[in-house]
A and B are shown apart, each in its own frame.
Chain A
C-alpha cells in the first residue's frame, strides 16, 4: 500500500483498477509489470514493430515522395524495424526485467542513440536522430493502440498519466472511466476540467505516481482530500467504501435542492449557468439545476479527428445543445485553439511560447475560412433558441472590431442566401487578459456582455503557467492583483449597464462564491457537478455577509491571508464540503 498526496481537483471517491497512459512527448517511466503480463507486452512490442514497418513500407512506396534521400531514410528505418537482433533485445528486456513494452522500446533505442552521439565523426553522430525517430514511430504505435483501448473499455478503470491532453480525454468512455490521477497539472489543468465536467474524482500534481504504479493495480482516488492510494489493504478499501457512501448521500442531499431557486437568505437572486464541452453535457447541467449554458467550449469539434469540422457538424452540435435549453441562454464561445490545444494543420509546428502566441481569437482572425464556417453555423442555429456569441482572448478594441466585422460579413452572406438567423444576437467577450480588464470601460461600449475567464486572467496577470507544477503554488485567483482587475471589470460592466458573468474555474470553487457575490457578481457559470453545492452556499448566506467579506478582503494585500480568511468563512457555512 502506498499513499500519495496531490491536489484535489474534482470531488468524489473511486476505487478501481488503474490504466496507465504514457505519452511520446515525455520520457517513458520505468514501470514493472506482473510476470504473467510479460507475454502480453512482448506481443504488443511485436505488433508495434509490424505496424510501424507497414507504415514505413507505405511511405516508401508513396509516389508523391520523389527525393531519393528521403526514400533512403525510410528504407534505413525499415531495416531497423525488421532487424531481428533489435527486436530480440527489446523482448529480452521485457522478459528479464518485467517492464512495459513502451519502456523496453524507449530504453533500448535510447541506448543505441547514445552510442552514436559518442562517435566523434559528426556525420555518424547525427544519425542518433534517426534512432529517436524510430523510437517515436514505435511509441506512437504502442500508445496509439492503448488510446484505442481507452475508447473501447469493458471494465471500470482509473486513468493514470503524466498529463492528459484534450485529444486523449476526448475519447474517454464515461461509463468506465471512474477517476483520473496525473503526475503534473494544477487546479485548472485540462485533466481537472474534464474530470469536473464528467463528474468523476480527480487528483493531480502527484509528481511520480506513474512510476510507482503498475497497470492493473487497484487504486483509490480521493478527490475530496487529494489523496491517491495504490494497492490499498482490505481495511482501507472498506473504510473508503464507507466514506464513498457518505459522500454520495451528501451529494444526494444537494440534489434535493435542485428545484429550489438560487436566492440568498435576504432575497437576492443569483443566476447559475453551466460550463460545457460536449453537447451531451447540456443534459447534466439541466439535471443539476443550471439555468443555461454560460460557456460552451467548441474545441471538441476540432480535436481527435483528421480534418476540420464542416459547417453542418458545427450546426448539429449547437442545435442539439440549444434544444435541451429551449429559450434559456446558451453562450457559444468561438473556437479557442492554440496554446495547449491544436488544430489538425498546426499540431506539428509548436510555437516557442504558445500561451503568448497565435491562439484563440488571434488564430481565428488569421484563419478566416475556418472562423466564418463556425460563425455561419452559430448564426444559423440562433433561430432555435437564445444563442449568444462570445469571443475569447480579446486583448484590444481592434480585435473586437475585426471579429464583429467578420460576423457582419457572414450575416450579409446569409441575407443574400435568404437564410434565417437572429439579427439581434447578443455578442460578448471573455475578459481573460489583463489588457482587456484594464480597457473594460472601452470594450463595454461594443458588447452586450462580459464573461470573466478567471483561469487565463490569473495566469496572465501573475505570469504563472497554470500547468507547471514547479510554480503552480503561485497560481491563485484570489491574489490581490487578480481581484483588483476583476473588481474593475465588474464596475465597468455595471457603469455600461451590460451583463456580466464569471465563467472561470474560480466560479466552481465553493470558497470563492461569497467573495464573488460580495464583489457584485450576480451570474455564475460553473462546472455542472458543482452547481448544487454552489447553490447550497448561495441559499445559506446573506448579501450583507458577502458584502462585508468582500470589503474586508479587498483591503488585504497578501494572497495567503485572503485564502485562509475565505476558507474559514466558508467552512462555517458548509462544513461537509471541506
Chain B
C-alpha cells in the first residue's frame, strides 16, 4: 500500500489559533503514524511532524491549512488530524460571538462562525 496520498483542507477554529500547545498536539498526533505529513498555509509547506516548523506557520483562528499525508496509513492520519483541528479544536474554546473579543488585532484572523 506504499504511495497512498491523501489530502484535505482544515480550518483553525479555536480562538487562540495554532499556538504552542496546539502545535504540540498536532505533531504528537502526526507522529503516531508512519506516513509523511506535510502542512501548507498559502505558499509555505512544512513538515507536520516538526513542532518547530508547525509553529512557524503562525496560523491564527480562521486560517485554512492543507494537510497532505503520504504513506500506508495516510487516510487514518488525515482523519485523526482533522478531528483534532476541527472537532476537538485542540480542547480549546472557539472565539466568543460578541464583536470585541480578546486581543485580536489582526483583522484577517477574524473567525467565520
Are A122 and B19 in contact, with the CB atoms below 8 A?
Answer: no
Are A85 and B47 in contact, with the CB atoms below 8 A?
Answer: yes
Q: How far is the CA of A208 from the CA of B13 in the complex (A)?
A: 50
Are B103 and A123 in contact, with the CB atoms below 8 A?
Answer: yes
Q: Give chain A interface residues in 72-108, CB to chain B under 8 Å.
A: 72-73, 75-76, 79-80, 83-86, 89
B32-72 vs A: 1/0 string, CB under 8 Å? 00000000000000010011110110101000000000000
Are B50 and A121 in contact, with the CB atoms below 8 A?
Answer: no
Are A86 and B56 in contact, with the CB atoms below 8 A?
Answer: no
Q: Give chain A interface residues in 107-148, CB to chain B under 8 Å.
A: 112, 115-116, 119-124, 127, 130
18 contacts between A and B (CB under 8 A): A73-B20, A75-B21, A76-B23, A76-B24, A76-B51, A79-B51, A80-B52, A83-B50, A85-B50, A112-B56, A115-B56, A119-B58, A121-B17, A121-B58, A122-B103, A122-B105, A124-B19, A130-B20
Q: In the complex, which residue of chain A has the Cβ closest to the Cβ of B56?
A: A115
Are A121 and B24 in contact, with the CB atoms below 8 A?
Answer: no
Which of A72, A73, A83 sits near B51, CB closer than 8 Å?
A83
Shortest CB distance A311–B (Å): 47
Main secondary structure of the interface of A (DSSP, over half): helix
Are A121 and B52 in contact, with the CB atoms below 8 A?
Answer: no
Q: In the complex, which residue of chain B has the Cβ closest to the Cβ of A120?
A: B106
Shortest CB distance B88–A (Å): 16
Q: Which residues of A contact B28 (CB under 8 A)?
A: 79
Q: How far is the CA of A531 from the CA of B79 in the complex (A)?
A: 80
Shortest CB distance B11–A (Å): 16
Q: Which residues of A contact B56 (CB under 8 A)?
A: 112, 115-116
Q: How far is the CA of A123 from the CA of B52 in the complex (A)?
A: 17
Indicate if B104 sits at the interface (CB-CB under 8 A). yes
Are A127 and B50 in contact, with the CB atoms below 8 A?
Answer: no
Residues of A within 8 A of B (CB): 72-73, 75-76, 79-80, 83-86, 89, 112, 115-116, 119-124, 127, 130
Q: Which residues of B contact A84 (CB under 8 A)?
A: 50
Q: Which residues of B contact A75 (CB under 8 A)?
A: 21, 24
Q: How far is the CA of A127 from the CA of B53 in the complex (A)?
A: 14
Q: In the complex, which residue of chain B has the Cβ closest to the Cβ of A69?
A: B21
Given contacts A76-B21, A83-B52, A127-B19, 10 further A-B contacts (CB under 8 A): A76-B24, A84-B50, A116-B56, A120-B105, A121-B60, A122-B105, A123-B17, A123-B19, A124-B18, A130-B20
Q: How far is the CA of A324 from the CA of B52 in the complex (A)?
A: 59
Whether A86 contacts B58 in the complex (CB less than 8 A), given A75-B24, A76-B20, A121-B109, comes out as no
Which of A79, A80, A89, A116 sits near B58, CB closer than 8 Å?
A116
Q: How far is the CA of A281 from the CA of B63 in the complex (A)?
A: 67
Q: How far is the CA of A84 from the CA of B51 in the complex (A)?
A: 9
Whether A85 contacts B58 in the complex (CB less than 8 A), given A72-B21, A123-B17, A123-B19, comes out as no
Q: Which residues of B contact A127 (CB under 8 A)?
A: 19-20, 55
Q: How far is the CA of A86 from the CA of B50 in the complex (A)?
A: 8
Q: How far is the CA of A72 from the CA of B16 in the complex (A)?
A: 15
Are A80 and B60 in contact, with the CB atoms below 8 A?
Answer: no
Q: Which residues of B contact A121 (CB under 8 A)?
A: 17, 58, 60, 104-106, 109
Q: How far is the CA of A112 from the CA of B56 in the complex (A)?
A: 8
Indicate if B27 sits at the interface (CB-CB under 8 A). yes
